Chain A
Amino acid sequence: MSTLRKPAGTTIAAHAILITYTLIALFPVFVILINSFKTRRAIFREPLALPNADSFSLIGYQTVFNQGDFFLYFQNSMIVTVVSLTLILLFGAMAAFALAEYGFRGNTLMGLYLALGIMIPIRIGTVAILEMMVSTGLVNTLTALILVYTAQGLPLAVFILSEFMRGVSDDLKNAGRIDGLSEYQIFFRLVLPLVRPAMATVAVFNMIPIWNDLWFPLILAPAEEVKTLTLGSQVFIGQFVTDWNAVLSALSMAILPVMILYVIFSRQLIRGITSGAVK
């Protein structure tokens, strides 16, 4: 990227604003992290203090590991998130390609129909979804969650990706056709690599709500062996007593995988967001 020469004052102001925002955004995460390493008493006495020799304690992490099957929850969350994301990206990109590339009858209508899902929250249909899951015997399976999250993520994915796919040069696709690539090869080998930034954007937008969701796990898959991390952590939040050490430790650990996935996607993400502007 080229460096544009800007007045120093503007640069400093921009940095000041961005740094302030970063601090504000990171503050809650920071508080959770430091408090997860403190004794219960220290958490309440001085919530903002760093853990020291006196207040340091791993009791929260011990509770989490001893109580409940934390690794199983973790694994469940991971499976649900990764599989849902994969399906959203795969089917979203395929639908977007069809909408962007082929002028079939009803193309616009289909696009509108798919975009409708962006405006209607899927939770409105919870009761119907639950009934369907009961009658198909999918209650208390990870499949139920994966299906729901895929359905929830597809509309936005199709919408964003089809916009990007319209931007891929026709000549390139035609060159592929002349060189004998099939439509599938054109999709997977020419178009997908070029819309990778958009795919990353879609992945990040979908990943966090899925990972953090409490609603559908609670309703569709509350059984012990299919609990997700968010639902599993709820055992520490009681109606009368809350085990803050355990809650904070569980949350700290839940942040990690999201962070890792985010780092993987973020380079692409930034390119996706700025791709219109910087070219």
Chain B
Amino acid sequence: MTALKLENVNKSFGPVHVLKDINLTVEEGEFVVFVGPSGCGKSTLLRVIAGLEDASSGTVQIGDDIVNDVPPAKRGIAMVFQSYALYPHLTVKGNMGLGLKQEGQPKSVIEERVDKASKMLDLDDYLTRRPAELSGGQRQRVAIGRAIVRDPKLFLFDEPLSNLDAALRMNTRVEIAALHRTLSASMIYVTHDQIEAMTLADKIVVLRDGRIEQIGSPMELYNNPANRFVAGFLGSPSMNFLVRSVPGVAPGQTIGIRPEYLGLRADGQIAGQVTHVERLGGDTNLLVRTEQGETLTVRLFGQNDTQVGADVRLGFDPQMAFYFDETDHRVLPKAA
């Protein structure tokens, strides 16, 4: 069964066309991540699904029902916001229980579900506190708890971790993954952190300028990007795109090589000079300026004592290179 189905969804704010012909299916229990640069319409798409904005055209189907005219509270969804959006005057318990109270659920049911969610999220000690008396991480857990309590068919997360520090972000990421396993609910998750996207997603949706560029599992997108945008967007450091430096690339084509597939080799095809070195302990990143004047990144595993200014030759396995035409679409290599 499908949890969500979008058909030809468009959204305009006055003259601004923000979402363009979005078609997407989310299967039950799937974890789908929307990624894309800032302003590409991720939040808007999420808000259309939630019913906080009306689609200008197209249909939104949640479960078996077309919900275009159904108010947010009745769509069977729950949303977690980047800014937490907790009710400042209610306690943690009040925050989590409000949705059920509005539905008219009996007190015992509310108690029971709040209790269950707070156990799951380790919030038992904070139930009587107000949001102002909690740390950022605790607030985010309350916001997630508020979503769980409603027992929705579909969870919507809008960059839930972007206000947390790095360590906490990692912990919460793991918690969300665990939550997805326990609840086996369908989730849609917006982020522009690609580590979150790669680690959490069953399916990644890459958006650009309000259009879906590609949909696929993380490894599919990594190994088989449909175009230059997707290739450059996923992977960190991002893919090198070279026009001149590699011999044998046809005019008009661009070759893309991921930094991890480049290596220092005496017989390498690319010659250049190291301009900067980043030593991360586990990895070493070299910035190399080629003789043809292009800059590329090389990711070496482990530690490496190459110095800035060194002349190097770089090689790669041709199997691991991607080729793009003038319109940035993926193509097979053309002989020069």
Contacts and interface: CB of A to CB of B under 8 A. Distances in A.
A169 interface: yes
Given A172-B85, A172-B87, A194-B88, A177 B98 contact: no
Contacts of B78: 178
Contacts of B52: 174, 177-178
Nearest to B98: A179
A171 interface: yes
> B82, B87, B89, B103: which has the most chain A beta carbons within 10 Å?
B87
B89 A178 contact: no
The SS class assigned to the A binding surface is: helix
Given A179-B98, A179-B102, A180-B102, A171 B81 contact: yes
A254 B159 CA distance: 56
A190 B98 CA distance: 12
A175 B71 contact: no
A171 B102 contact: no
Interface in A85-104: none
Given A171-B82, A178-B50, A178-B79, A193 B73 contact: no
B206 interface: no
B212 interface: no
B136 to A, nearest CB: 15
A180 B98 CA distance: 9
Contacts of A180: 73-74, 99, 102-103
B72 A177 contact: yes
B239 interface: no
Contacts, number: 55
B99 A174 contact: no
A82 interface: no
A188 B98 CA distance: 15
B73 A175 contact: no
Interface in A189-206: 189-190, 193-194
A181 interface: yes
> B83, B85, B150: which has the most chain A beta carbons within 10 Å?
B85
> A174, A177, A179, A189: which has the most chain B beta carbons within 10 Å?
A179
B82 A177 contact: no
A193 B131 CA distance: 15
B83 A177 contact: no
Sort A-B residue pairs by CB-CB distance and give the 7 closest, nearest first: A180-B73, A180-B102, A171-B85, A179-B99, A171-B81, A175-B85, A172-B85
Interface of B: 47, 50, 52, 71-74, 77-79, 81-89, 98-99, 102-103, 146, 150
13 contacts: A174-B47, A174-B50, A175-B85, A175-B86, A175-B146, A177-B71, A179-B146, A179-B150, A180-B74, A180-B99, A180-B102, A180-B103, A181-B98
Given A169-B83, A189-B89, A193-B88, 20 more contacts: A171-B81, A171-B82, A172-B85, A174-B52, A174-B72, A174-B81, A175-B85, A175-B86, A175-B87, A175-B146, A177-B52, A177-B72, A178-B73, A178-B78, A178-B99, A179-B73, A179-B98, A180-B74, A181-B98, A190-B87
